[in-house]
Chains A and B, each alone.
Chain A
Amino acid sequence: MEETYEIRGTNWLDSVQKLLASVFETSSVTSMLVPVRHSTTHVLMPTLVSDPGELEGADPFAPCFPLNSAKLVSKLTKKHSNEIIAAVLRPCELRALVELVKIKQATMDNLITISFDCAGAYPNREYNRTGAEGKAAEGKAKTLGFMEQRLGSKLDDDTDKQLSTSCRICTGPFPENADLCITLLDHDPGALGVFAGTDRGRELIMGKAFEVKSLPGTRADTVKEVLQRKKEAAKKVFEDLAGKTATMAGLGNYLASCVNCYNCRVACPVCFCRECVFNTDVFDYEPFQYAAWAKNKGTLRMPMDTVFFHLTRMIHMGLSCVGCGQCSNACPNDIRVAELFTAVGKGVQQGFGYEAGKSMDDPFPLSVFFEDEFQDVTGI
């Protein structure tokens, strides 16, 4: 069992800010990507902090993440730099980052990752509507209240109906392979634990002035219990979804209000193309072609290729889908894209015996070939 260090501040945010500040002190990290509530706008946004003094507004636990930060880490690390940075990421953001590293859109060479037991988040619009983005103090209070309720109920999703579906059915809310993993469950209120998930993390933790404490003995059971609940919730959601989308007609209905704004694609952390194929000349039809299709069928729904777009995206990133739910957040017409993509992603990943974001060591499916693979599928 990894050694866990306990940090006690006046509350959870104070504790985590202490921990983050200590990372600056004891390592060569020059800047840190972390959600910060800005002093002028009071809006919570991922922020690259180079002055530890500015960590006062840091709030990684808020029940809201306006975007999946893996994309930002890609921007920070894709090309070589001498800067060593740290990034505080939710487990789903870390998983997305792992996927991006595998497809060479980011590197972990000069990166220290910090993740935590995620209590989930509200849909962005929901969070904004509740007015939590008002004043700094209110936002902070909201976060602490949320955590108290969530951790107190051992992440019982039924007690908070506002929680986004993606978080309710998330089966990976606990950090696994971050350099530093923060544990919140089963600690005293306000306190948190930290253990190393990697060798690099171990080096960082060694010699830190924190109190050593083994992980609460109850943690393993709590984790198991939480995952079991979430798995059951996921099963229910997926079954319901399968009933709605099992046929082409059903799928068409599900996606009927899609207007090809492509927001889901922009919000998706693992959609990594420089220019989406749907923006290229592949889908630049000649005017006479539209006319011909309309004549053939009598009607032509426009914009065209909406279902095609989502199917293509499922093929392109289903294997990498980490279930963060940002696509649903981004949809202007409230299509529940995230459930659909999470379900399909889980299915194809299972087919390849792959779990997106789980480990850097699992080769990306289709990049490796074995002579005798998938005999049950191919029949030869």
Chain B
Amino acid sequence: MGEKQGRALVVGAGISGIRSALDLAETGCDVTLIDAAPHMGGVLSKLEYQFPSDGCGMCRLLPMADRDTCLQACLRKGLVHGGIDLMLSTTLKGLEGEAGKYRAILETEPSIIDPKLCTGCNRCSEVCPVTIPDPFNQGLSTTKAVHLPVPHAIPNIYTIDMDHCTLCGECETVCPFGAIYLPGEDRLELKIPRTLVEMDVGAVVLACGIDYYDPLSGVNTFGYKALKDVVSNIELERILSGTGPFNGSLKRPSDGQVPSRMAWIQCVGSRDLEFPACSSVCCMIALKEAVLVRKRSRQTIETVIYYMDMRCFSKEFEAYRRRAENEYGVILKRARPHSVRYDRNTGGLSLYITDDSGIRVDEMFDMVVLSLGQRPGKSVKELAEITGIGLNPLGFFEDPLSGEGDKTGVFAAGSASGLKDIGESVIHSSSASAMALKVIHGARSPHDEEREPLNGFRDVSTQVPDIGVILCQCANGPDIEPQVKSMGASDVHVSGVMAMDRICTREGWDGMLETLAEKTFNRILVLACTPQLFLDKKAAISKAVNLDPAYIDFADLGKGEPLAATVKMGLARIRYADRLNSRASAMVPTVLVVGGGLGGMTAALSVADTGFEAIIVEKESRLGGNLVWLEKDITGNDFGRLLDNTCRRVEKHPGIRVFTNAVVEDSRGGPGNYTTSLKTCDNDSKIIDHGAVILATGGREAETSAYGYGTSDAVMTHREVEQALKAGTMDPVNLNVVVMIQCVDSRNDSREYCSRICCKSSLKHALEMKRLNPELDVYVLYREMMSYGFSETYFKEAREKGVIFIRYSQELQPEVLSGTDGVMVKVHEPILDRTLEIRSDLVVLATGILPSVIKPLAALFDARVDDYSFFKAADSKWRPVDAVNGGVFACGLALGPRDAKESVASARAAAMGALRLISSKSAGVSLVTAGIKPSLCTLCERCIDSCVYGARTLDSDAGKIRIDPVACQGCGSCAAVCTNSASFLNNYLDQQMFEIIDAAI
């Protein structure tokens, strides 16, 4: 050891692990991605519909720069990236050393089915006599002891459930490829021992996810597993899925009937005495599931969600809730059902419920869904011990506000530090990758050198195709060599068909390379099974034959399609294979950060810490933003110290330049190459070249005129209270009664979104005031307490300390009457069903958050704002901090309301996004990139309108359409709208597609 390592280890291959692995691989690190399961995808492999778009879209995680390094296919099926080694059925067993220089010990489960030999032909499963509950469908359907763990994975390798296998040996006999090695009957140990691998890594990202509460571990008053029609929310997701137990039709498990009334019970295993935290995402999951059920049933199934607080705290979620209620007719009832019982008379399920006034209002349903709360992942405790990362009192990884100054090279990503929705998991994972990248930075160079420059290959672009066909044959497969040879003979462009024995083996592979090296083909087509996995092997062939990988292609023999069609389609594709001649200009290794608050500074540091340059533009005279007036957060983090530390690091950092009193004036260019002019205080213009931009323009506390604000000194906003407490001008000892009103001017028709941090701020102030003056009466008037995640514990603490929470509704708002001796607050108390009058010394208004004006700035960089004037992300789940065009990012309050910790995470994620772009080598244009034939172009500009990535511009001087090959993502919209094929998509040419279609039919 001793050498700093350029390799990163990512533990867990769910959404978060995939995001982190791609982040690190795209920035030039070697990545080892491991997962304990025999497949990747984590919980997402079981989910098909995700809020708030009710679709998937995971492919939006795929790289946008250097696209050819990664298989461009559905990520729920699998991830194939040249820089990522995937090790399944593998766990981390030991970690020694220090940040940058770890030695990791990985243990791989023995595979009874050799993944290298299994082709997924299903013959083993056909003969297996043992039927077991299918774990993929949560036991709602059955499968065989030897089965596919996930039906859609690439590669699709069978596994054997050794707990149920009777070792009958049928599968071993029937396997045509000899892939199955069952342990001998007379001994229990397996033929293949567990393999231990030691590996040097620089940093470790722990993305091992979470587990869910098991109702059977408690008193189980809801009858889970005892009553067949009481299902968990994941079981319902499986029922709704096309690959689920009922092929996607909604039926109840007990008798296969379509339910007519369904209930969701929220907070099962959350927000109770045993687990005093909120699970953050279940409210939205329940809403989404209810909407899906309403849609599927054409609104015939009644859906009722029983909840305590509907926590739709993210930017778009309140709007989603409104849609669910108003458009889809999902019914929300505030109650915590006591139990579910079977009703003998009707065969239905009876929910025991009491309403606000304590009266029993039982209701009958025929299906009940339990929204199960989060629990720490099984491996979290062991991983904490191995890696030394801390655990919080509830057993999740600690998630400190600032990792600065920490010596560790181990970082938690995603839900492992508390359940998060997809968008936040993606942000949090990129944040972890940014920190890991900082540790690894400096040791990445060897990997860079391995990258093949694309120049220097034989120039075959103008040569007539001279195709060499490699046919991979399995020893036991049918003999198809004569057929393929005759097809080759009848094709004028094929000059050789060579049959090889199993190129998936080392001998076969080497043999193929030797054979190819002797020839001078200018196009090579390899016919083999699961060719998706050969992505990284193209480079090896390319090197052996000195041919641009663009001219090497694979065709899949394993899909069970007619051989002639497969071969001829492959030949048609390779015949027209080419690489566009245009070259992308080099990435400018600088990131412009607009805004010098906590987000902007963090983003700049993350960029600069990895060796790139960051430039901060701040319109005020000093850095700090909202941090300047904030004292601390609810967990006690000292913002003053954070501000000082961060400012000092920014000022001292050689890689960061700061312009204060400066604003962005104009910008030209696109992702990778922007030229931006700044206007500085002395009216000077400053021109800056940069490759990416991060908008960290922040937001502010909203102004208000509600509740008598402005007419009485006793009515204050959060910010004023925070400042008064910080300055010592307010002493709670002098107060007797304080009333806090939540959701002022928020979550209504004029401002729909929840500002998400106000509930936590109120809890913070209430607890602080109570600490300073325990005699003080504090009333919090709220509509929904948004103390999501672990901040729920402060809600509990506040109630224990005597803070009184009174719920009000949008229809029945409190009134504030100011008089000479303080203020009178009138509010309707729903439990007493009476109007209370509270004479108070201080009324604190939670007025919410408004974004800074960002629209004109965003427009300069071809980015947009959303309905609420925050930055509009390309996709709130999968690309939560990026604009569509891939060169513009945002963080902090510019994205939407979030607290300091979440702002820091988003800032690192934004920096990570910018780093992914500017560290791409872009030596050549990605193979699937659009081009233009100017001689055919009529300049109708429809391609410009159709390009969502802003990759096309009209050069009116030259009278030509220009394409930015970095911004182009090869979607093909431009080629589709162009009527005379002046716009084309390389490797998807008209002639090529005609020939492929011709071959297919």
Residues of A at under 8 Å CB distance from B?
A: 103-105, 272-277, 280-282, 288, 316-317, 364, 366-369, 371, 380
Contact = CB atoms under 8 A, between A and B. Distances in A.
Nearest to B937: A274
Nearest to B976: A366
Interface of B: 53-55, 492, 935-942, 945-946, 948, 977, 979-982, 990-991, 994
Q: A-B pairs with the 8 shortest C-beta distances?
A: A273-B980, A367-B945, A103-B940, A316-B979, A282-B990, A277-B980, A274-B938, A277-B981
B991 A281 contact: yes
A317 to B, nearest CB: 8
Q: Describe B's contact surface by its main secondary structure.
A: loop
A280 B977 contact: no
A300 to B, nearest CB: 13
B465 to A, nearest CB: 12
Nearest to A366: B977
A364 B940 CA distance: 12
Contact of A288 (B54, B492, B940, B994): B492
B946 A367 contact: yes
Contact of A274 (B53, B977, B980, B994): B980
Contacts of A280: 936, 980-981
Nearest to A282: B990
A104 B939 contact: yes
B977 A272 contact: no
Which of B54, B939, B948 gathers most chain A CB within 10 Å? B939
7 contacts: A103-B938, A273-B980, A275-B936, A277-B979, A282-B991, A366-B942, A367-B945
Nearest to B981: A277
A104 B981 contact: no
Given A104-B939, A288-B492, A273 B979 contact: yes
Which of A277, A288, A316 gathers most chain B CB within 10 Å? A277
A103 B978 CA distance: 11
Given A280-B980, A280-B981, A380-B55, A105 B940 contact: yes
Nearest to A100: B940
B936 A367 contact: no
B945 A282 contact: no
Contacts of B948: 369
A316 B979 CA distance: 6
Contacts of B990: 277, 282
A274 B936 contact: yes
Contacts of B945: 364, 367-368
A273 B938 contact: yes
Given A275-B980, A277-B981, A367-B945, A105 B938 contact: yes
Q: Describe A's contact surface by its main secondary structure.
A: loop
A268 to B, nearest CB: 12
A254 to B, nearest CB: 23
Contacts of B939: 104
Nearest to B49: A380
A103 B942 contact: yes
Contacts of A274: 935-938, 980, 982
A240 B941 CA distance: 38
A367 B942 contact: yes
Contacts of B53: 371
Contact of B946 (A277, A281, A366): A366
B936 A273 contact: yes
A380 B977 CA distance: 23
Contacts of A316: 979
Contact of B941 (A104, A273, A368, A369): A104
Contacts of B942: 103, 364, 366-367
B942 to A, nearest CB: 6
Contacts of A281: 991
A6 B492 CA distance: 75
Contacts of B980: 273-277, 280
Contacts of A105: 938, 940
Contact of B981 (A282, A366, A367): A282
Contacts of A276: 980
Contacts of B492: 288
B813 to A, nearest CB: 32
Contacts of B979: 272-273, 277, 316-317
A266 to B, nearest CB: 14
A282 B936 CA distance: 13
B15 to A, nearest CB: 21
Contacts of B936: 273-275, 280
A293 to B, nearest CB: 8
B188 to A, nearest CB: 50
Nearest to B945: A367
A107 to B, nearest CB: 12
A37 B682 CA distance: 69
A277 B983 CA distance: 11
A280 B937 CA distance: 12
A367 B942 CA distance: 6
A174 B982 CA distance: 37
Given A282-B991, A288-B492, A367 B940 contact: no
A283 to B, nearest CB: 9
Contacts of B55: 380
A364 B980 CA distance: 18
Nearest to B980: A273
A281 B992 CA distance: 12
Contacts of B991: 281-282
A374 to B, nearest CB: 14
A105 B54 CA distance: 41
A288 B939 CA distance: 36
B981 A272 contact: no
Contacts of A275: 935-936, 980
A140 B287 CA distance: 73
Contacts of A273: 936, 938, 979-980, 982
A269 to B, nearest CB: 14
A274 B936 CA distance: 6
Contacts of A364: 942, 945
Nearest to B943: A367
A275 B934 CA distance: 11
Nearest to A312: B979
Given A273-B982, A275-B980, A364-B945, 11 more contacts: A103-B940, A103-B942, A105-B940, A272-B938, A274-B938, A277-B980, A316-B979, A366-B946, A366-B977, A368-B945, A371-B53
A272 B940 contact: yes
A354 to B, nearest CB: 14
B951 to A, nearest CB: 15
B940 A104 contact: yes
Nearest to A288: B492
A122 to B, nearest CB: 31
A272 B936 CA distance: 11
B231 to A, nearest CB: 24
Contacts of A367: 942, 945-946, 977
A104 B938 CA distance: 9
A319 to B, nearest CB: 10
Nearest to A79: B959
A316 B946 CA distance: 15
A317 B977 CA distance: 11
Nearest to B940: A103
A286 to B, nearest CB: 8
Contacts of A104: 938-941
Nearest to A379: B295
Nearest to B989: A282
Nearest to B939: A104
A288 B937 CA distance: 31
A288 B493 CA distance: 12
B295 to A, nearest CB: 10
A288 B940 CA distance: 36
A380 B981 CA distance: 30
A282 B988 CA distance: 12
Which of A273, A369, A380 gathers most chain B CB within 10 Å? A273
Contacts of B938: 103-105, 272-274
A104 B935 CA distance: 17
Nearest to A308: B994
